[in-house]
Amino acid sequence: MIFREATIPDIYQIQIVRHSVKENVLSNPALVTDEDCKTYLTLRGKGWVCEIQNQIVGFAIIDLKEHNVWALFVRPEYEGKGIGRQLHAMMLNWYFQHTNETLWLSTAVNTRAARFYRLQGWKEAGLYGTKEIKFIMTIEDWKVQNNFA
């Protein structure tokens, strides 16, 4: 497994991963374009990928402007191998090195993703829309979660 910063040429494979997921499926795949990915990777934040044999199997992208996790996805056949946890740690370490702002994300209710975020120390902050939970992470909670305090 190789973990590294995402680049523009990775967008094709990032989209494959995004469209392979079984939870938090896009209702309209055209809603997240290659140009959106490029903007988030270069202007709004940063991204990371996990590669196995030159194939991207997971990715994470964070939005420094809106202070949210824009994406964290792992191909279903690679779930449970620690890939999401490693991408998550890389992303949040980078984020909190650049800002002290509280970070947020949303994910569907009663999903593996929601359980994952709770285990990573995220706190529920109510509903986001009608079908998703909003989670927040403060720098203080991140430090405690990772024994930085």
Question: What are 131's two structure tokens?
Answer: 């079908």
Tell me which of 100 and 25 has the higher pLDDT. Answer: 100
User: Cα separation of 11 and 19, whole Å?
Assistant: 12
Q: Which domains does the chain have, with CATH numbers?
A: 2-145 (3.40.630.30)
Instruction: Calculate the average pLDDT of the chain.
Output: 90
Which pLDDT belongs to residue 28?
A: 55
Sign of CA dihedral 76, 112, 56, 78: negative
Residue type, position 30, single letter: A
Sign of CA dihedral 124, 83, 62, 139: positive
Which of 96, 99, 106, 98 lies closest to 134, judged by CA?
106
Q: pLDDT tens digit string along 10-50? A: 999 999 998 887 766 555 556 778 899 999 999 999 999 99
User: Cα separation of 31 and 34, whole Å?
Assistant: 10
User: Cα separation of 50 and 101, whole Å?
Assistant: 26
Gyration radius (Cα) of the chain, Å = 14
pTM of the model: 0.90
Nearest 5°: phi and psi at 41?
A: -75, -30
Neighbour-count burial for 64-100, b at 16+ CB within 10 Å, e otherwise: beebbbbbbbbbeebbeeebbebbbbbbbebbbeeee
Q: pLDDT tens digit string along 81-94? A: 999 999 999 999 99
